[in-house]
Each structure stands twice: as C-alpha cells, then as structure tokens.
Amino acid sequence: MKTEEKRGERVLSGLGVSAGIAVGMAHVTEQGDVPIPEYDIAPEQIGPELARFEEAVAVSIKQLRKLKTKASSLPDSAAEEMGLILDAHLAMLSGSRLVRGVARRIETERINAERAIQREINAIRESFAGMRDAYLAARFDDVRVVGARLLRNITKTPYDAFKMLPEGTVVLAEELTPADTALLDPNRIAGFATVLGGAESHTAIMARALGLPAVVGVAELLGGPVPRGIVIVDGSAGTVVIDPTPATIERYRKRQEAFLDERRAFAKLRKLPATTRDSVEITLEANLELPQELGQAINAGAQGLGLVRTEFLYMNRSDLPGEDEQYEAYRTLVVGMEGKPVTLRTLDIGGDKLAGALVEQLGLEAANPALGLRAIRLSLKERKLLETQLAAMLRAACHGPLRILLPLISTVSELRRVREVLAATARRLKRRGVRIPDKLPPLGAMIEVPGAALAADALAGEADFFSIGTNDLIQYTLAIDRGDEQVAHLFNPLHPAVLRLVQFTTEAALRARIPVCVCGEMAGDPRYTALLLGLGIRDLSMAPTNIGRVKQRIRSLDMVAATRRARAIMDQWDDGRIAALLDDFNALA
C-alpha cells in the first residue's frame, strides 16, 4: 500500500469497505485506558489464574505476529522500523521480566492477573525512573504498550469507551471485531480505519450496516506518530488522510456533500417498483445485522427481510440469550415488517464472528475456524442452542410471515436433522400450550459451500428455499480468507468458478420450483445486478443502504439484453474478459 507525502499531511491507502466520507478528530483505541477489575484469589484459583494470563500472552503474541506480517508490506524503511518495534514487543512476551513478574505476583500475592499486570508495570516504571536514561525511558514506553495489550486481551475488553467519545470522532484501531463495531454509534462516530481486516469480513459488513465510512487494511495507520488531530476516512476510495491541510479538508467536505446528495436521490426511488424496462419485477429485500436497522430497511422500501443475522443477540455479553428474549427480538422484526416476509437465519457463529459468551462456554477456539465447528454444525452439536432459537422463531411466526434459514449447509442430512428438531420443538411448544402457527415456517438453506452448490439438486429436494451467500461461496471456492486484507485483491466475484456455482444453484432451484435469492454482498453492488438477473435471479437481499442504488440499476435494465449478456459471459473462462464484458454492458445501459 503506497503512501503519498504532502506538506505535513499523510495520505495512506487501504481497502475502502463502507462508502462515504468522514472528517473528524482522531481517536486511537489502543490509547484508551482499560478499566481493570481488582480482587484477591484463593490458593486453588492460582492455577486457573495463571492459565488466563498465559492465554492473554498467547493471544497477544498471535496479534503481534499478524501485525508483523502486515508491516512487511510497507516500504523498506517503514517495514524495518515497525518490524523492530514489534520484535521488541514480542520479546517482552517471552519470558521477560514483565511476564515472569506477573506470574510471580499471581502466585505469591494471590491477586488476579489484571491487578498483577498493573502492579508489575508500576514496579518496572519505578525502576526505570531511577535510571535517568533516555534510551531506557523509551523502552519503558514499550513495556507500557505491551502491558496495555495484555490488559485488553485478558479483560476481553470491547471498546466500551466508544460511548464516551465526542460527536464526530473518527476511530483508528489496530483491529475491530464485528462486536466492537456494533458498539459504534453512527450518531457519535463519523467513521473508522483499521490496520487489519478484509473487504468481506463481518466487521466490514457491520460498518456498511451502520452506514459508517470505513477503510481497513491500512498497514501504516498506527506506524508513525499517534494521530491526534483531524483525520479523513474516505470509505469510497479507500483513503485515510492524517493531519490534512485546510485545502484537503475543503476538498473532502465537497465530496462528502456530493455523496450525501446521491444518497438523497436514491431515497426518492423508495416508492417506485424494482421493475426492469421490459417489465420484469424484481424483489429487493434487506439484510439486517442489528435490530436498529429495521427503520432503515422500511424507509428504503425493502419488500422483506431477506437475511436477519441473529448473531447480534449473542454479542458483547457473557451469557446466552434465552427463548423469551429471542422471541421478543424476532417478534419486533416480524410485526415491524407489517406482513412482509422476514427470513431469520439461525446462529452463524464461528469463523471471524466469534461471540464472547459462546467462545467461553463451548471452547470454540479452532485451529482453522472457517472450516471448523461453525454455523449449523455448532447448532446441531449444541442442540439446546438450536432448540431455543427454533422455539423463539416458531412463536414469532404467529405474528406474520417468517422463514427460517440455515447457514453453512453442506449436506442433505443436516437439513433433515434440523427439520426433525423443528418438528419436535413445535410438538413440545404445543404440549406446553404455547401458541405457534399450524403450518411450520419454510426451512431454507444458505448455499455458501461449493459442495452444497454442486449438490444443489439434491438439496433442493429437501429445502423450501435457497439463499446464495456469495461471501462465503467465494471464500471457500477460491480459498481466500474473506477477512484477510493480504489476499483481498484475489477475492473475485467474477471468477468463472463462482459464477458457475451461482448459475448451477439458481437453475437447480428453478427446476425444483423453490424460491432462490442472493443475499451475499454481491447482491448489493449494482455492478453485478445485470449478471445476477441474467442468470435467473429475481430476488436480491442487501444492506438497506444499497437498495436505492440497486433499484436504480434495475430500472435502467432490459432483461432480455441482460440475459443475453449473461449467456455470453458464461461462455468465457478468463475473469478479465468477464469483467470487461460486464463493465461494457453496464456502461451502455
């Protein structure tokens, strides 16, 4: 990623993952103090407390190694400089005075690990203070930074401090999890930028859901002096400007106005149908990350909720949501949509979207989480999780049309087993006298594993509907981690293998006469609209903020021409040629 110097301001590039422009005061999350609990521990707690500390050390080492890999993509001198700092931090985590001192304090002073870290840092500070040596004083800064990392990891601190930030702040961080991002209030936070993260990560999706301009994968973001003044995040272009000149600020303010004007123009399409020029009607639905997006979905004219990611119920808490709590959340959505269909997806936790409570309780740390106990696999193993969720969904189904969607389906037997659990849960609720609809809600499969796409004919015999998750489908087909900025340039929706799988799935659904929708990020990008419709898709579900622009594209399209162009594209094997054929078509109509 290149850096451009301009009279004191620093222009950095990364991946623009959520459109829009933020101009505001910088807040670097790593600089904030973490509130720490302090307590004494009993002798039998020493072992577990040491284990907690060791885990925090291991997590910190993992993070620093990741940062080192990222730093190696910087220009030579910057890479060397950052590499040295990160090496020093890594060394401090392997048997240094800090680590040994904390362990000793846990054992001898019988205090919790957080307090031991704090005390050891203070003790090191005192011994350094006596030395009056500028070099050593600088080394203490490293101890303090490593100590803060340990405290953040051991307390598993979500950035609660976000609540305290003044309006218009731009958050800069090493990394934000989807759960951290969910805590960013778009009324206070103007946007964010991070060192790590990929374009289709759930953090990026959450940013789009919140309408927060965001740039991720900015290697140099926290490499130089700590940004304290104004910073600009251009989520459309993937640019971050630190300490911009007044002229630059003025230029970006104008772009910001133009972006907002465009949004307002899309909003005017709200009441118009999503119909092509040759009168083919398309259904546009909304994806929901967070319940507070419901208003946005309705305002955007969504004809239903095509994908409700229920993970929000499990984030930023230390317990699991019960049946009643889930029922209330689902009922609010169903009632709010006033008769339009609501598609609730069962828990899709794992991969890059681990939730605190579950990781703790189920020991979900996996060597390769994207291929591990994720999504429907976890629900089928932890039956209680699934039963609770299905019971809440069945109860909510009394209030309006509701569909149940299963993530990461790879075999027919998974669908069958969930159907059995659904039937058993319905019987149990009826026995308890709980009101549920006579007819059970439709049960659908996410098609996001290449094997599921290839077996779409078999799955179509068992599923009531399909929803194609292009984010994971691309990740697994091309072996590209959707959350890794280093391979983000290879994440290509136009790869012929991906398009074949979308085509194959769509045709299998049409043959079996079951509905099929696309709900991955491809659905919300007008660049792909003509191609998806040309392949036979008639239902698209996307972030509410994308509905306007996709509707505008549909209204400018001729379906006969789009189908012809899709056929020509499917005859190609070169993804560059595919892109050219699609972009030429888009430029014409």
Which sequence positions are flagged as catalytic?
202, 519
Residue 234 engages ligand PEP in binding (rule: CB under 6 A) = no
Sole window of 66-74, 160-168, 464-472, 561-569 interacting with Mg ion (rule: CB under 5 A): 464-472
Residue 484 engages ligand PEP in binding (rule: CB under 6 A) = no
> How many angstroms separate the CA atoms of 567 and 581, rounded?
11
Q: How far is the CB of 408 from ligand PEP (least distance, A)?
A: 8
Q: How many residues bind Mg ion (CB under 5 A)?
A: 3
Sole window of 134-142, 469-477, 526-534, 560-568 interacting with ligand PEP (rule: CB under 6 A): 469-477
Sole window of 131-139, 236-244, 254-262, 464-472 interacting with ligand PEP (rule: CB under 6 A): 464-472
Edge to edge, the sheet with strand 169-173 lists 3-6, 9-13, 239-242, 230-234, 21-28, 169-173, 189-194, 214-216, 15-18
Using CB under 6 A, which of 309, 399, 538, 565 touches ligand PEP? 309
Q: How far is the CB of 450 from ligand PEP (least distance, A)?
A: 12
On whether the CB atoms of residues 216 and 196 are closer than 8 A, the answer is: yes
Q: Which of residues 340-369 bind ligand PEP (CB under 6 A)?
A: 348
Tokens at 291, concatenated? 């319940």
Q: How far is the CB of 150 from ligand PEP (least distance, A)?
A: 31
Residue 519 engages ligand PEP in binding (rule: CB under 6 A) = yes
> How many angstroms separate the CA atoms of 196 and 483, rounded?
9
Residue 484 engages Mg ion in binding (rule: CB under 5 A) = no
- Helix segments in 112-219, DSSP class H: 113-129, 134-154, 178-182, 202-210
Sole window of 13-21, 58-66, 156-164, 470-478 interacting with ligand PEP (rule: CB under 6 A): 470-478
Picked from ligand PEP, Mg ion, none, the partner binding residue 60 (CB below 5 to 8 A depending on kind) is none
Residue 544 engages ligand PEP in binding (rule: CB under 6 A) = no
Q: What is the dihedral sign for C-alpha 292, 295, 298, 300? A: negative
Q: How many residues bind ligand PEP (CB under 6 A)?
A: 11
Picked from ligand PEP, Mg ion, none, the partner binding residue 301 (CB below 5 to 8 A depending on kind) is none
Q: What is the dihedral sign for C-alpha 91, 94, 95, 98? A: positive
Using CB under 6 A, which of 470, 529, 546, 586 touches ligand PEP? 470
Using CB under 6 A, which of 211, 441, 469, 524 touches ligand PEP? 469
Q: How far is the CB of 408 from Mg ion (least distance, A)?
A: 7
Which residue number, 282 or 307, has a Cβ lying nearer to ligand PEP?
A: 307
Q: Residue 395: helix, strand or coil by DSSP? A: helix
Residue type, position 455, single letter:
A
How many Cβ atoms from other residues are within 10 Å of residue 138's Cβ?
Answer: 10
Which residue number, 315 or 426, has a Cβ lying nearer to Mg ion?
A: 315
Using CB under 6 A, which of 181, 303, 471, 529 touches ligand PEP? 471
On whether the CB atoms of residues 404 and 344 are closer than 8 A, the answer is: yes
Tell me the residue nearest to Mg ion as measured from the CB. Answer: 472
Print burial letters for 381-410: b (CB count within 10 Å at least 16), e (below 16): ebeebbbbbbbbbbbbbebbbbbbbbbbbb
Tokens at 284, concatenated? 């546009």
Q: Which of residues 173-232 bind ligand PEP (CB under 6 A)?
A: 205
Which residue number, 17 or 99, has a Cβ lying nearer to Mg ion?
A: 17
Using CB under 6 A, which of 472, 481, 484, 539 touches ligand PEP? 472
Q: Residue 307: what are its φ and ψ, rounded to 5°?
A: -155, 110
Residue type, position 20, single letter:
G
Secondary-structure percent of the chain, ordered helix, strand, coil, rounded to 5: 55, 15, 30
Residue 469 engages Mg ion in binding (rule: CB under 5 A) = yes
Which residue number, 285 or 448, has a Cβ lying nearer to ligand PEP?
A: 448
Residue 246: CA count within 13 A, CB half-sphere: 0
Residue 472 engages Mg ion in binding (rule: CB under 5 A) = yes
Picked from ligand PEP, Mg ion, none, the partner binding residue 470 (CB below 5 to 8 A depending on kind) is ligand PEP
Residue 448 engages Mg ion in binding (rule: CB under 5 A) = yes
Q: How far is the CB of 337 from ligand PEP (least distance, A)?
A: 19
On whether the CB atoms of residues 111 and 41 are closer than 8 A, the answer is: yes
Q: How far is the CB of 322 from ligand PEP (least distance, A)?
A: 23
Q: How far is the CB of 473 from Mg ion (least distance, A)?
A: 8
Roughly how many angstroms between the first and final C-alpha of the chain, as a whole number?
A: 34
Q: How far is the CB of 515 from ligand PEP (least distance, A)?
A: 16
How many Cβ atoms from other residues are within 10 Å of residue 567's Cβ?
Answer: 11
Residue 352 engages Mg ion in binding (rule: CB under 5 A) = no
On whether the CB atoms of residues 27 and 228 are closer than 8 A, the answer is: no
Which residue number, 218 or 447, has a Cβ lying nearer to Mg ion?
A: 447
Tokens at 390, concatenated? 């299905």
Residue partners of 206: CB distance under 8 A and separation at least 6: 178, 181, 182, 289, 290
Q: How far is the CB of 470 from Mg ion (least distance, A)?
A: 9
List interacting residues with ligand PEP (CB under 6 A).
Answer: 205, 307, 309, 348, 448, 469-472, 519-520
List interacting residues with Mg ion (CB under 5 A).
Answer: 448, 469, 472
